[in-house]
Amino acid sequence: MSNPQKLSDRSSIQKEIERALAAEPVVDMHTHLYPPAFGTPDPNKSGNVDPRGLLLWGGDELLTYHYLTAETLRSARIPYEQFWAMSKTDQANLVWKTLFVDNTPTSEAAQGIISVLDVFGLDTRAPDLKEARAFFNSQRLGEHFDQVFDIAKVSGVVMTNDPFDDTEDQLWSRSITIDRRFSSSLRLDSLINRSLVNAAHVAISTVTQVRAFLDNWIQRRNPVYMALSLPPDFNFPGEDARDHLLREVILPTAKEHRLALTLMVGVRRKVNPQLRDAGDALGKANVTAIERLCLEYPDINFLVTFLSRENQHELCVAARKFSNLMPFGCWWFLNNPSIVSEITRERFELLGQSFIPQHSDARVLEQLIYKWKHARRQIADALLHSYQQLLDRGRAITPEEISRDVNRLFSGNFNEWVRQD
């Protein structure tokens, strides 16, 4: 590159970052979204998965997101069972009234709703959901779907696929064409959970049977990685059914199929079961377990995220020691601007650009809009901070370098990690 243009002041760096970020599509490496071919559920059915479909979208789904039901039940203080007995429409009405009318929507999840309404030109101070419902009801799913991906500038999403879920399997078999933007991932929580609850399951289904089942699933569904969420007390090596499954089934399968393994560590499930999907919490976990996995399995690429803020610095240090360890995302309770800002800066300082700054974890289509809008803001600010420091120390950044860095963060690192030819 001869005589590259150097950016020698803050405002031109900032402009260039905004340009690069606006131009760069992101690959969203962990979501709970499904393609339109998987159908949409019955809008009147609340609670468990509806066999008619899995793709959630629109105002009522957005408002009944589990991040928001937890907040609503703190303020509204109605009995849990009363809330769950309500229709989805009534639940959404209560969430709106509680968090957006009777209170000021300062939480990140509530501000997400504001960002979505605002993008579509809807009244963010409306007294009820009439206008928002009319808007979403008037949308044709196919066009709306593309519009959401365009606004969010998302070029690809990875689904979370449970190989033991019959509904999902049926929808998959019925779906002729899966939208090309969707990739699958093989989520193994239910394999582990079945085995922990019923240790006999591991014995009855021999290792060979389970491996054959997974091999078959992988051949049919072509996942980009295998994945598992883990509690704070996860240890490796361990002496339980989980350790057995990891060593005998999951790690050898990842190795054989040259699949990356995604580990999401630190979730305490069902701390308050009455809150249903919103009832999980977190705990500080043990990063040395991940170090040992990376050491023992150098041929496997690990994508790792921790749920506790207290684990973030240790995770960065572990990643400095193991080139087969890729930290990713600011997961769930960490996905708040103040914490995303802190973690992203820390990662730039310890890892350069060798990490994946965020995933959306979207469950409802339009969440892609706000989750990526908010993430892009924090990533832009953290980049500006880093480049300004570089400038102060005597090196100006160029537009080409900014584009290169943003490309790596938004898709390059992930693509490189999951492509193991």
Using CB under 6 A as the criterion, which residues of the chain lie in contact with ligand RAT when the complex forms?
Answer: 32, 160, 229, 264, 332, 361, 363
Instruction: Report, in Å, the least distance between residue 32 CB and Zn ion.
Output: 6
Instruction: Report, in Å, the least distance between residue 32 CB and ligand RAT.
Output: 6
Angle (deg, nearest 10), helices 399-407 and 367-392? 140
Choose between 165 and 381: whose C-beta lies nearer to ligand RAT.
165
What does 333 interact with, of Zn ion, ligand RAT, none (CB < 5 to 8 A by kind)? Answer: none
What does 374 interact with, of Zn ion, ligand RAT, none (CB < 5 to 8 A by kind)? Answer: none
Edge-to-edge strands of the sheet including 182-183?
26-28, 154-158, 182-183
The amino acid sitting at 161 is N
Residues numbered 289-308 forming contacts with Zn ion, rule: CB under 5 A: none
Choose between 265 and 326: whose C-beta lies nearer to ligand RAT.
265
Comparing C-alpha atoms, which of 359, 30, 31, 39 is closest to residue 168? 39
> CB 376: neighbour CB atoms within 10 A?
22
Choose between 353 and 360: whose C-beta lies nearer to Zn ion.
360
What does 359 interact with, of Zn ion, ligand RAT, none (CB < 5 to 8 A by kind)? Answer: none
Binding mask 340-379 for Zn ion (x = CB under 5 A): ---------------------x------------------
What does 368 interact with, of ligand RAT, Zn ion, none (CB < 5 to 8 A by kind)? Answer: none
Instruction: Report, in Å, the least distance between residue 199 CB and Zn ion.
Output: 27
Q: Say if CB 211 and CB 249 are below 8 A apart.
A: yes
Instruction: Report, in Å, the least distance between residue 261 CB and Zn ion.
Output: 16
Please tell me whether the peptide bond between 298 and the residue prior to it is cis, using omega within 30 degrees of 0.
no
What does 332 interact with, of Zn ion, ligand RAT, none (CB < 5 to 8 A by kind)? Answer: ligand RAT
> CB 19: neighbour CB atoms within 10 A?
14
Instruction: Report, in Å, the least distance between residue 328 CB and Zn ion.
Output: 12
d(CA 258, CA 278): 34
In the bound state, the residue with its beta carbon closest to Zn ion is 361
Instruction: Report, in Å, the least distance between residue 326 CB and Zn ion.
Output: 17
Q: What b/e sequence results for 344-366 when a residue is b if at least 16 CB atoms lie within 10 Å of its CB, and e otherwise?
A: bbbbbebbebbbbbbbbbbbbbb
What does 179 interact with, of ligand RAT, Zn ion, none (CB < 5 to 8 A by kind)? Answer: none
What does 229 interact with, of Zn ion, ligand RAT, none (CB < 5 to 8 A by kind)? Answer: ligand RAT
Choose between 80 and 332: whose C-beta lies nearer to Zn ion.
332
CA dihedral 111, 117, 119, 124 (to 10 degrees): -80
∠ CA(113), CA(119), CA(124), 5° rounding?
Answer: 50
What does 158 interact with, of Zn ion, ligand RAT, none (CB < 5 to 8 A by kind)? Answer: none
From the CA atom positions of the chain, what is the Rg in Å? 22
Residue 60 in contact with Zn ion, rule: CB under 5 A: no
d(CA 65, CA 337): 19
Comparing C-alpha atoms, which of 248, 243, 265, 421 is closest to residue 334? 265
Choose between 149 and 331: whose C-beta lies nearer to Zn ion.
331
Q: How far is CA 58 from the centre of its chain?
A: 19
Choose between 263 and 287: whose C-beta lies nearer to ligand RAT.
263
What does 343 interact with, of Zn ion, ligand RAT, none (CB < 5 to 8 A by kind)? Answer: none
∠ CA(317), CA(189), CA(340), 5° rounding?
Answer: 40
Residues numbered 241-280 forming contacts with Zn ion, rule: CB under 5 A: none
Choose between 161 and 286: whose C-beta lies nearer to ligand RAT.
161
Q: Which residues bind Zn ion (CB under 5 A)?
A: 361
